[in-house]
Structure 1
Amino acid sequence: MAIATLRHHPRFRELGLTVKILGRNPLAVAGGIIITAMILLATFAPLLAPFDPIGISLSDRLKPPSGNHFFGTDEMGRDIFSRVLYGARISMVIGLMVVGIAGGLGTLIGATAGFIGGRIDNFIMRLMDVMLSFPSLVLAMALAAAMGPSLTSAVFAVTVVMIPKFARLVRGEALAVREMPYIAAARVSGAKNGWIILHHVIPNCISTVIVLGTLTLGDTILVAASLSFIGLGAQPPTPEWGAMISVGRKFLMDQWWYATFPGLFILVTVIGFNVLGDALRDVLDPRIRR
């Protein structure tokens, strides 16, 4: 009885329709497969990795791909395949953490600014404009350098950089939502601004936030890898994709596998998130859906 009732629930039917439409989109299926594969690799990295990702074996240094070392070894004899798997775990955690925090804060900031308006809106949006006036990577580099090179600094810097994207988008949605009749009815009934924002404005922006969050995941992984590449993110011997490419470029002419495989994983992961985000945008946009 409970399952039958759940199946007829409007939200359940909406979710089922969304999944059905996504299943008909080849790009959405491809993106979903890529992201699912990366999540599984990151989750089961300790079981799939044949070697310790930071274990040194100088007798095996800079060996090419083989049956024993699928992606070859680095200058310390560490298995690159194992390091790439653990790098997937780090990149996925960074992406989800940054998007979760930046998306939550950006949504709250944007919804508050758009709904309340006036001087608060002007102040918040001018601050967001200042942050958006800098290229994402340049601002992230400045913040990470100010805090000192570390993975924590990179996560904080990328999070701060991504907040204005969500705030700007949600603010536009809030400006439209606040003119709706049910908002006026809530005000007449005595509801406070905070309650209206949490129960009416933000829920109506969730679809937009989900799409932007999916697209931002790829950018987040790319920016975090870029910070590690220039020495402001993860530090050796941490198996992070950007840091691996940074060291591997020194051996690129003779040991091509060192930088190639981490770079391919970044490429495939970013493409997967972008393709899936584009498909979600098409499905969740009511104008396209009609």
Structure 2
Amino acid sequence: MAAHPIFRELKLTLRILSHNPSAVIGGAVIAAMVLLAVAAPLVAPYDPVKLSLGERLMPPGAAHFFGTDELGRDIFSRVIYGARISLSIGLLVITVAGVTGALIGATSGYFGGKIDNAIMRLMDVILSFPSLILALALAAAMGPSLVNAILATAFVMIPKFARLVRGEALVVREMPYVAASRVAGAGHGFIIRRHILPNCLNSAIVLATLTLGDAILIAASLSFIGLGAQPPTPEWGAMIASGRKFLMDQWWYATFPGLFILATVIGFNIFGDALRDVLDPRIRR
């Protein structure tokens, strides 16, 4: 029995990725972070929010691999649990921004004309602001909380997906099978759902992979200035914010959360670059 085309495509993609050094390195970093996040209760030796004032600001050692903070909490445990929070933030942001942006872009590109012009001008206005500055302003307006930081970060990323999918939709809407669907009496919603969006999926997946690291970085930046995760939540950006006061003498406090952010962002970026090359039909040929 022949394999389904989707499974054949997935198998081919995985085989090509396995021979790409960037994909292997990036995938290994991402897999390690995901495993740490999933197995946090098993890997972390201490409760990430438990206070131990008698062990405050201890340097890295056998008892505390990454040292302790000003309240005696184990930084290694907090960093591991922070992977859970930061990865969840990134996935939520990309899901909200990707789905919303794809729907906006598909609608804009499919209908064209005044609708397309109005939607794209709105996207241009959002893109005219630096992403971090706009996210900061939105989060400040809504109030400091992790949920608001996620919504603000997702909002500033919607135009990226909208413009990408809109460009794909402008091409797909002219295809013969779309014209045949119109002749057969298919509605606009059916055509967008069954023809436009599926043909934009590869590009959207690549963009999601490339921007997931940016989403984590922006959310961590909001937490760093007090507009994201609030104490005692073990979030990487918030940990760096607390540790900056002790950076000169207790370097480990802010260094280890920063290294995990760096590794995660680089991992997603290089994996996204490799995935883009693999999913580009011109390169695959």
The answer for unaligned runs of 5 or more in structure 2 is none
Instruction: Report the Cα distance in structure 1 between the residues aligned to 2:7 and 2:228, rounded to whole angstroms.
Output: 41
Aligned to 1:278: 273
Deviation at 1:152?
A: 1.0
Structure 2 letter corresponding to 1:95: G
Query: Which of residues 229, 232, 240 is equivalent to 1:234?
Result: 229
Instruction: Report the Cα distance in structure 2 between the residues aligned to 1:227 and 1:10, rounded to whole angstroms.
Output: 43
Query: Which of residues 214, 218, 223 is equivalent to 2:213?
Result: 218
Instruction: Report the Cα distance in structure 1 between the residues aligned to 2:135 and 2:184, rounded to whole angstroms.
Output: 45
1:244 equivalent to 2:239? Answer yes
Please state whether the residue corresponding to 1:74 is helix, strand or coil: coil
Aligned to 1:69: 64
Instruction: Report the Cα distance in structure 2 between the residues aligned to 1:95 and 1:51, rounded to whole angstroms.
Output: 25
1:122 equivalent to 2:117? Answer yes
Deviation at 1:121?
A: 0.9
1:183 equivalent to 2:178? Answer yes
Query: Which of residues 99, 108, 114 is equivalent to 1:113?
Result: 108
Aligned to 2:36: 41
Instruction: Report the Cα distance in structure 1 between the residues aligned to 2:204 and 2:4, rounded to whole angstroms.
Output: 23
CA RMSD of aligned residues (A): 0.7
Instruction: Report the Cα distance in structure 2 between the residues aligned to 1:153 and 1:228, rounded to whole angstroms.
Output: 11
Aligned to 2:151: 156
Instruction: Report the Cα distance in structure 1 between the residues aligned to 2:60 and 2:131, rounded to whole angstroms.
Output: 36
Structure 2 letter corresponding to 1:280: L
Instruction: Report the Cα distance in structure 2 between the residues aligned to 1:277 and 1:151, rounded to whole angstroms.
Output: 26
Structure 2 letter corresponding to 1:148: G
Deviation at 1:180?
A: 0.8
Deviation at 1:235?
A: 1.2
Deviation at 1:182?
A: 0.8
Q: What pairs up with 1:67-146 in 2 under 5 angstroms?
A: 67-146=62-141
Aligned to 1:192: 187
**CA offsets 1:203-227 (integer angstroms, 9 cap, x no match):** 0000000000001100000000000
Instruction: Report the Cα distance in structure 2 between the residues aligned to 1:141 and 1:46, rounded to whole angstroms.
Output: 32
Instruction: Report the Cα distance in structure 1 between the residues aligned to 2:227 and 2:91, rounded to whole angstroms.
Output: 20
Aligned to 1:32: 27
Aligned to 1:58: 53
Instruction: Report the Cα distance in structure 2 between the residues aligned to 1:61 and 1:12, rounded to whole angstroms.
Output: 53
TM-score (norm 2): 0.99
Structure 2 letter corresponding to 1:43: V
Structure 1 letter corresponding to 2:225: I
Instruction: Report the Cα distance in structure 1 between the residues aligned to 2:18 and 2:201, rounded to whole angstroms.
Output: 21
TM-score (norm 1): 0.97
Deviation at 1:9?
A: 2.1
Instruction: Report the Cα distance in structure 2 between the residues aligned to 1:129 and 1:9, rounded to whole angstroms.
Output: 40
Of stretches 195-204 and 185-194 in structure 1, the one that deviates more from structure 2 is 185-194
Structure 2 letter corresponding to 1:63: M
**CA offsets 1:9-41 (integer angstroms, 9 cap, x no match):** 222111111101000001100111110110111
**CA offsets 1:124-181 (integer angstroms, 9 cap, x no match):** 1111110000000000000000011111110110011111110010000000111111
Instruction: Report the Cα distance in structure 2 between the residues aligned to 1:89 and 1:129, rounded to whole angstroms.
Output: 33
Seq. identity, %: 73
Of stretches 61-70 and 40-49 in structure 1, the one that deviates more from structure 2 is 40-49
Aligned to 1:204: 199
Instruction: Report the Cα distance in structure 2 between the residues aligned to 1:117 and 1:42, rounded to whole angstroms.
Output: 43
Instruction: Report the Cα distance in structure 2 between the residues aligned to 1:12 and 1:167, rounded to whole angstroms.
Output: 28
Instruction: Report the Cα distance in structure 1 between the residues aligned to 2:58 and 2:87, rounded to whole angstroms.
Output: 28
**CA offsets 1:93-122 (integer angstroms, 9 cap, x no match):** 000011011101100110000001111111
Aligned to 1:14: 9
Structure 1 letter corresponding to 2:84: R
